Each structure stands twice: as structure tokens, then as C-alpha cells.
Structure 1
Amino acid sequence: MGKKINPIFFRLGKNINYHSLWYCEKKKFSFFLKKDILLREIIKKVFFFIDLNNIDIIFSNKLIINLYLNNFENILNIENYLDLLILEIYKIFKKNILLNLINNIFVINSKKIALYLINYINNKNSIKKIIKRECLKYSDSLNGCKIQISGRLEGVEIARKEWFLFGRIPLHTIRLYIDYHHCEIITQYGVLGIKIWIFKK
């Protein structure tokens, strides 16, 4: 069962917080949900050049938005786009906006590792070596890490899976935090799926 369920959804409300923090009546739920989705689309459109790890949206008297940035060194570029983002949001929502930028550059997370892997795969490096090297790079700071890539690896005709694991990934223990990310990369041979699990106490 642990392998068939997204580990983040499995732990929501227990030891992982929701990224959309708002409450409304049952009748207004669809209205607020559309607002939430629209906000996320606007942020991703304006900050298309930046690697956002997560977006927190909090509806209260003010509209509070927390942006967790993986590449915080591009902060000079971001400042030019902040006014544009606040203007676009204000046009639609007519609310005061509080925007927080949170530096996530020193935090090891699964999305950041996935972006490194995508760059290596685009450079046509050996996938088995890439997976092992990326896993063992963080062996001192993590309790466990598992990386799996599946598809037509290196152009072979029959699709297969390559994976590497160090430490342990306790998927059934809800009180432990597992960071998980799944993404796809389009290569000239087809689509490859990348899954990453990180366990850190």
C-alpha cells in the first residue's frame, strides 16, 4: 500500500501542512478553489524563470502568499517582477497582498534533486551512474534517499526501471516525514518518469 499512495497526501494534516490555508462555507468552496488555482497559475506565469519549490496561499483579511525559492541567488531578477505580480493579483482579487520570499536554497528537497537529474539526462550521461551519484551525494545529511527513473532509458526498445536506494524510506510510518516528487522529462526516445523519495528525521 505504501508504494501505491503519494507519501505527501498520505501524511497531510498529520505532520505535513497544507499549502492552501483557507476555510469557507460548503456553498462557496468551488469559488475559493477556482481562486486558489488561478493564483497559482498567475504566480507560475510571472515567475516562469525561477524554480519554485512550494507556494503557500492564505486567505484572510489580507491575501498572504509565501514563495519557497530553490534558486534564491536570482533575487535581483525577482524584484523586477514582484510589482507586476502584485498588480496582476490586485486587479483580480481587489485585496491587500502580503508577499513573502523564503530562501530554500540550503534545504535539500526532492524537487531540487529532480532538476539536477533532468540536466544530466539532457546531457546524455549514463543514467545508472547519475542515480547512484546523486543518491550518495547526500548520504551524510539524509537518513534515506531513493531515486527511480523509468521508460526507454538511453534509447533501448524495451522500457525498464533503474533505481538506487541508500538508508531507509519508511513509507508506512505516518509520523515520519517523507519528501516526494514526481516529474516527467521528454527525450528523443520518449517520456521518462522520475520519482524521488527523501527521508530526513
Structure 2
Amino acid sequence: MGQKVNPIGFRTGVMLDWKSRWYAPKKEFADLLLEDKKLRDYVTKKYKFAGIPKVEIERTRDEVKVVLHAARPGVIIGRKGQQVEQLQDELQNLIGRRINIKIEEISRPEIQAHLVAEDIAEQLIKRAPFRRAIKRALEQTMEAGAKGIKVQLAGRLGGAEMARREKQIAGSIPLSTLRAKIDYGFVEAKTAQGHIGIQVWVNQGEYEDQADGADAQEGQASKKPKRSYKR
């Protein structure tokens, strides 16, 4: 069987930063991890149509900073920022800690894998043909400037009695190349025939080289000739 790994988990700590950035002792770690899960589930469920593929959480001693990456930030902000204050109060009541919310707009939502998967799921729920939904997603993502995209659907496709998988690829998807910026998203479409799993991989290009010249020079091998050992 093919061995598969989540592209985001594969690059976290190497090319990507963690989505939760905090440290806790062993006794508190599980409770804080559960709090993070509650915050993410609450925000993504309430603002389903705001297009939130990523929620980052940072903790200090005094407060919890929640960074929402949204394709449509206006849905969350509301008129004069009233909805942000309301959301802040709701999250504070949910976990019992002081919350600081920051909203960042996503410039190109068409190349965000989670948002592409959500768009396909919406079409499938509206009974659109699955092949047409996949083809449309491939075309839109490639036109937006992505280097490649892979979409895989699994379930009772087209209302068939037996579940199956179907995938389509456009461009290149180098999953094993760490410097390749591969975004991954998974969404379930709850149709009348059953749930259909939608997996999307998007190649957004390559990560920029973050190492400066000084570090590169320090990392070079010494120019001294190797000692030869005679037996």
C-alpha cells in the first residue's frame, strides 16, 4: 500500500511554523490543546461562509491571541467592528480567558486548498455533477497562478450504490519536495446519498530561501584537507 503523509504536517517545523504557538507544562498541556480545538471549531462553524482555512493561536500569561485568516473578512468584522467584539465576548465565555482577535485577509483564496475543497463540497450538496465540479476547481486554481492541483473524491459519487475514488491532476504536485509550498485541505460533503470526502492538494510554488549569507558561510565544510590514516 502507498504510504501517505499530510503535506502540512510534513513541512511543519521545517518550512512552516506551528498553528498553535505556546508552551505549557505536562499537566496543563492537554487542557490547553482542548481549548485550541474548541476555539477553532467554534469560529469555523459560526463563520462557515467567511472562508477561514487557517486559525493561528498564540498564548501569553495574560491573554490568548487568535489570528483568523479569512477570504471574506467583512463577514466577521460586520458594521463598525461590532461582530468582532461580540465574537471576542463569546470566545472569552467559551474558555474563560481573555481573548485578542486579529483578522488577516487572504489575497488569493483560489489557491487555498481548504477553500477549494469547500467550494467543491457546496456544489456537490447542490447536486452538481462531480466531474464538472472538479474540472471547474482545476481551471480556477490554475488560472489564479497555482503551479499544480490534485483533487480526489471518495464516496458514493453520482449516487452510485458502491463507493469509489476518483481523482484529477493539473500541473505538478511534488509532494516529497520540502521546499515546494504544498497546501492541503480536506472537507466532507454531506449529500443525501452519504458523505463524500474531498481532498485537495495545491502547489503554490516554492518557499523563499530564508537563510542569510552569514549562516550559509558558517554551514560550509572546512577547506582543510582530510587526514589520511595509514594501516
Give the TM-score, by structure 2 length: 0.76
Matched, 1:178 2:214: no
Q: Deviations over 1:13-69 (max 9, x none)?
A: 111211111012223222322332333344346545533221111001432111111
Give the secondary structure class of the aligned counterpart of 1:87. Answer: helix
Deviation at 1:72, TM superposition (A): 2.6
Contact 1:15–1:176 under 8 Å retained in 2: no
Deviations 1:103-127 (A, max 9, x none): 1153420111112212221232221
Distance in 2 (CA, whole Å) between partners of 1:2 and 1:195 is 16
Q: Which residue of 2 aligns with 1:195?
A: 199
**Which SS does the other structure have where 2:78 is aligned?**
helix
1:37 is matched with 37
Q: Given the alignment of the two structures, is residue 155 of structure 1 paired with residue 165 of structure 2, yes or no?
A: no
Residue in structure 1 matching 2:113, options 110, 113, 120: 110
The one of 135, 143, 149 aligned to 1:145: 149
The match for 1:65 is 66
Partner of 2:122: 119
Q: Which has the higher contact order (CA 8 A, sep 6+)?
A: 1
When residues 126 and 86 of structure 1 are mapped into structure 2, their CA distance, relative to the original with a 3 A threshold, is closer
* d(CA) in 1 for partners of 2:53, 2:125: 21
Q: Choose from 154, 169, 173 the match for 1:169.
A: 173
Q: Which has the larger radius of gyration?
A: 2
For 1:174, what is the secondary structure of its paired residue?
coil
* In structure 2, C-alpha distance between the alignment counterparts of 1:41 and 1:125, rounded to whole Å: 27
Taking the aligned partners of 1:132 and 1:49, their CA distance within structure 2 comes to 22
SS at match of 1:172: coil
What 5-or-longer segments of structure 2 have no aligned partner?
Answer: 206-231
Which stretches in structure 1 are left out of the alignment for 5+ residues? none
Matched residue SS, 1:182: strand
> CA–CA distance in 2 between the matches of 1:160 and 1:42?
32
Whether the aligned pair in 1 keeps the contact of 2:147 and 2:203 (CA below 8 Å) is: yes
CA contact (8 A) 1:54 1:67 kept: yes
Aligned-residue offset at 1:4:
1.6
Task: Provide the secondary structure at the position in 2 that maps to 1:139.
Answer: helix
CA distance in 2: counterparts of 1:152 and 1:45, whole angstroms:
25
Change in CA separation of 1:30 and 1:84 when aligned onto 2, cut-off 3 Å: same
Q: Does 1:88 align with 2:90?
A: yes
Equivalent pair of 1:16/1:177 in contact (CA under 8 Å): no
Q: Secondary structure at the match of 1:199?
A: strand
Q: TM-score, normalised by structure 1?
A: 0.86
Letter of the structure 1 residue corresponding to residue 39 of structure 2: L
Q: Tell me what 2:212 maps to.
A: none
User: Aligned Cα RMSD in Å?
Assistant: 2.4
Aligned residue type for 2:126 = N
CA contact (8 A) 2:78 2:84 kept: no
> AA paired with 2:187?
C
Cα distance change of structure 1 residues 89 and 182 upon mapping to structure 2, 3 Å threshold: closer
Give the SS at the match of 2:17.
Answer: coil
- Identity, % of aligned positions: 29
Structure 1 residue 2: deviation in Å? 7.5
Residue type of the alignment partner of 2:178: I
How many residue pairs get matched? 200
